[in-house]
Structure 1
């Protein structure tokens, strides 16, 4: 049982996410080639290289410093997804107290980031974007907060919700982003941004249960 995410756990979460993303990068690139311009995997990999270069050492890591470094790496990356993820991570980085982040704070930070991304990108659930994974994950965290779940259990719930949301994008016609240009040709193809959100929450659940 984990009550809060301190610097060491935040660093483990981000390192796990980086490893898991790289393992999935080719598959995500293939998804983007079917529904976009094929540069999603390359752009996110570039962002993560910047993140790794900025991450604090294990001795200096706090939840805020790890996610601030993550936000900075994504904001310094081109394309559409990098800045959107960056703004989301920036909101998450602010959801902390002295000892780290608990379920309540994480739920608030993820929800604030979701609102920011929706304001900037204009997407809603059903538009076949990262929002289709991020919104249900955010709701799962809010429900976990209301239910008094510890943060490890909350992340497990969020990961399941994000993965289900990502899977749902295969049945959606895109209303935003490059996938909207190809119409029916994108049916059956999961949105790579939504899948990446699922990978992120799954990495958090794995890091906290290790």
Structure 2
């Protein structure tokens, strides 16, 4: 990660996340229809579409401004729990990102800060069948890769693989937070929609931020 992540790279990440959410909107809604309000896909797609529109209308000037703008837009445009949770994630990342280029360590700290914000806002812990179950492993894998001196691409790919494993691990879990928790044992056997969209966020980082061959 010699050159780090600049404003342009981070904007590419956000746009890729928006694209993935749009592509997987129906899947997210289907997952949410089983254990939630059947609106996660629609809410996230509406929110990320609003984010892209805001970026084009008022281009941010640095990474922190970009992440803050994304967070504020999601808080104001996305209904249900997704808006406050994802909004908090990006706002906490903004607090770490600063106004320059992010190196590997800063990126890892920023994502960890985002996770901590989600945990604080949603009062969720690992094993509660939420987006934390994907984001937590993603942050752990990223931290470990950075500590080992792995390349940016390798660190991001490990993070994405851990997120996917965490997402898949929500299927047998009993939901303890959110609307799904009302279902009790009936929540078992279903993949969590929040963990699924959180995995898309990490997948988008691989596509947009990992250098070719790095």
Tell me the residue number matched to 1:132.
Answer: 133
Where 2:96 maps in the other structure, the secondary structure is: coil
In the alignment, is residue 203 of structure 1 matched against residue 204 of structure 2?
yes
Q: Which moved more, 1:49-58 or 1:195-204?
A: 49-58
8 Å contact 1:166–1:191 — kept in the other structure? yes
8 Å contact 1:3–1:152 — kept in the other structure? no
Tell me the residue number matched to 1:65.
Answer: 65
Against the structure 1 CA distance between its residues 139 and 3, is the aligned structure 2 distance closer, same or farther, given a 3 Å change threshold?
Answer: farther
**4+ residue segments displaced more than 4 Å:** 56-61
Tell me the residue number matched to 2:14.
Answer: 14
Counterparts in 2 of 1:62-101, with a 5 A limit?
62-76=62-76, 77-101=78-102
Q: Deviations over 1:69-88 (max 9, x none)?
A: 21111111221111111101
CA distance in 1, matches of 2:58, 2:147: 32
Against the structure 1 CA distance between its residues 61 and 9, is the aligned structure 2 distance closer, same or farther, given a 3 Å change threshold?
Answer: farther
Q: Which runs of 5+ in 1 are unaligned?
A: none
Task: Calculate the TM-score normalised by the size of structure 2.
Answer: 0.90
CA distance in 2, matches of 1:157, 1:3: 20
CA distance in 2, matches of 1:120, 1:206: 28
Q: Deviations over 1:67-126 (max 9, x none)?
A: 222111111122111111110111112332454112111111111221222122111110
Tell me the residue number matched to 2:111.
Answer: 110
The alpha carbon displacement at 1:203 in A equals: 0.7
Q: Which moved more, 1:100-109 or 1:160-169?
A: 100-109
8 Å contact 2:146–2:155 — kept in the other structure? yes
8 Å contact 1:56–1:65 — kept in the other structure? no
Tell me the residue number matched to 1:151.
Answer: 152
Q: Deviations over 1:3-38 (max 9, x none)?
A: 411111111111111111111110110000001111
Count of aligned pairs between the two proteins: 210
Where 1:5 maps in the other structure, the secondary structure is: coil
Against the structure 1 CA distance between its residues 149 and 61, is the aligned structure 2 distance closer, same or farther, given a 3 Å change threshold?
Answer: farther
CA distance in 2, matches of 1:3, 1:152: 13
The alpha carbon displacement at 1:66 in A equals: 2.4
CA distance in 1, matches of 2:13, 2:42: 21
Tell me the residue number matched to 2:168.
Answer: 167
CA RMSD of aligned residues (A): 2.0
